[in-house]
Amino acid sequence: MRALGLLALAGVAAIGAAAPGAANARGDPGLEARVQRLEDVAAIGRLLTDYGRFVDARDWKAFANLYAEDGGTWSGGFGTAVGRTAIYEMMMKAMGPTPGPNYHVMSNFEIDVDGDTAKAWSRWTFVSGAPDGKPAILYGGRYQDTLVRENGQWKFKRRDVVSDVSGPPPQR
């Protein structure tokens, strides 16, 4: 009976450990919380990649939707825009509606999740074709992001775009 009682308590502990977000008596996160963190990092990684994909496609509507509905902010070489409408308009003006022979390499993702907010750091490299020769890297640098889970989806709360290597003046 003693053993049975102990097992019973062990059973309660095990169920506790499996509950979403539950922490056990040692303070470790439960398995579901660990899976959730992996999923969050993957979802934020996808957000970082979508950014490059939508820029390269000049799909500014999809691009603007990557930002938080509540005050999502883009800040970089074109200025600072707050809110999806302002972001859409700034990018449309800065880069136009038509894709060109160029693209972004998105790399070096570092993502730190803390509940429903997160921070990210990553690198960008802008590769452009040239009519008369080899493709070249025109610009490159890093992104510094604050992210927020909004209605179950990760969004940019603020993205700061920093240039680390200088190139010729920006061109459309």
DSSP-derived pairing of the beta strands 73-76 and 79-82: antiparallel
**Buried (b) or exposed (e) across 71-82, using 16+ Cβ within 10 A?**
ebbbebeeeebe
Cα distance between residue 144 and residue 93, in whole Å: 23
C-alpha closest to that of 155 among 81, 70, 91: 70
Q: Does 123 bind a second copy (CB under 8 A)?
A: yes
Q: Specify the residue, 42 or 80, whose C-beta has the smaller distance to a second copy.
A: 42
Closest separation in Å from C-beta 84 to a second copy: 22
| Residues 12-41 close enough to bind a second copy by CB under 8 A | 12-15, 17-18, 24, 31-32, 34-35, 38-39, 41
Q: Which of 71, 79, 96, 129 binds a second copy (CB under 8 A)?
A: 129
Cα distance between residue 166 and residue 128, in whole Å: 14
Q: Which of 11, 71, 79, 96 binds a second copy (CB under 8 A)?
A: 11
Q: Specify the residue, 5 or 97, whose C-beta has the smaller distance to a second copy.
A: 5
What is the three-class DSSP state of 111?
strand
Closest separation in Å from C-beta 82 to a second copy: 27
Q: Does 42 bind a second copy (CB under 8 A)?
A: yes
| Of 62-70, 82-90, 99-107, 146-154: span binding a second copy (CB under 8 A) | 99-107
Q: Does 164 bind a second copy (CB under 8 A)?
A: yes
* CB half-sphere exposure, 88, CA atoms < 13 A: 11
**Buried (b) or exposed (e) across 93-130, using 16+ Cβ within 10 A?**
eebeeeeeeebbebeeeebebeeeebebebbbbbeeee
Q: Which residues of the shown chain bind a second copy in the complex (CB under 8 A)?
A: 2, 4-15, 17-18, 24, 31-32, 34-35, 38-39, 41-42, 46, 49-50, 52-53, 56, 101-110, 121, 123, 125, 127-129, 133-142, 164-168
